[in-house]
Structure 1
Amino acid sequence: MSAESTPTTGSADFATCDLYDADESLQSLSLQLLNLGGRARFTGPIRTIRCHRDNGLVKELLNSPGDGAVLVVDGSGSLDSALIGDMIAASAIENGWAGVVIHGVIRDREQLAEMDLGVRALGSNPRKSVKDGAGEVDVPVQFGGVSFVPGATLWSDADGVLVSNV
């Protein structure tokens, strides 16, 4: 798929299957993340955070202008504590984020399902994380066979997650 025919950032008019059929160089996330937000289809430029059981940076970044971006959080696949919940998700919506993709878990699952935010994660756990702010922002992260590079484009729908190469 050429850059001219790729749906624009923020557009909800795409299907990941069609995107991949048109451009097999797109990266396809093999990890089977659950669709846990109220927005089933979302796209945007990638921002990243790498952290482990600490959502201080997640909270800080989602409290800043998102401009239609998608936050990809590499939480090391930890199921021990949630990296976002309903209050942080509400901030993300208020600040214009399109969605979050979390290699980890969330909490407030029922509330997030009703919110206009794309949320993909491994599952849920009611345990809060610490908020020390440990981690890294806007660094390349890898999981599920995909390299998530800040500035690349991410598309997510019911069939999965695709990422452009930068």
Structure 2
Amino acid sequence: MGRASREKMVEEAKKQMRLAVPLIAANMLLTFLQVISTVVVGHIGEEVLAGVALAISFAAVTGFSMLLGMGCGLETICGQAFGAKNYHLLGVQLQKAMLVLSVSCIPVAIMWCFADDILVFLRQDPETSTKAGVYARWMLPSLFAYGLIQCQIRFL
């Protein structure tokens, strides 16, 4: 490998890192939100911690993973628009994705409102399920924000 190709590789790696660092930071901050909440609640008591852990698991399975998957579709579409140098379409696709994900959050939000009943139906401890339901309702704003941030991460 020649000196010129090494320099090109180093230059490309620098460009990739400039793009990747903000995305890495955004994903780490999203993860830290849940970790910090869990740590703080852990100081309150074991029963509350169990409820929060159950709520976070319920939210991850029923909402956050769905939004993550739907947001990944935008990555492909934006990549194609960027490759075709159709930059206007990038913004249009972002707006459409944000609308679709926001609308998709509505049934999930309704489900989270009844998380305690759903968890009891799934044979979880009623007291823990009640605490999980309360926490799930408090997480509702993060559901919509998570959908929007996923679109923006994929767009960038």
Name the TM tier (shorter chain). under 0.3
Higher strand residue share = 1
Higher helix residue share = 2
Mark the structure with the bigger radius of gyration.
Answer: 2
TM-score normalized by structure 2?
Answer: 0.21
TM-score normalized by structure 1?
Answer: 0.20
